[in-house]
Amino acid sequence: MRILAPLFFLMTMPVWASSFDRPIPQAQSATAEFWFALGSLGLIAALYLVHRLVSRR
């Protein structure tokens, strides 16, 4: 294990680390915006139905 210790030290040096590249956001398409709007309306409708169900009890 003593023989491998310098090897592990060399492998963990910051020189080997690559720099972080920030991801570039992609533009949304009209289709994606449509499905997001449809999903949002569905969620609002489901929350309203749960509200009515709970408020009756």
- 16-26: per-residue pLDDT in tens? 566 778 888 88
Residue 20 is predicted with a pLDDT of: 76
* 3-state secondary structure at position 4: coil
Say how far apart CA 16 and CA 11 lie, in whole Å.
7
One-letter identity of residue 17:
A
pLDDT reported for residue 47: 97
How confident is the model over 1-55, as pLDDT tens digits?
667 777 666 666 666 566 778 888 888 899 999 999 999 999 999 999 999 999 9
DSSP letter (8 states) at residue 13:
S
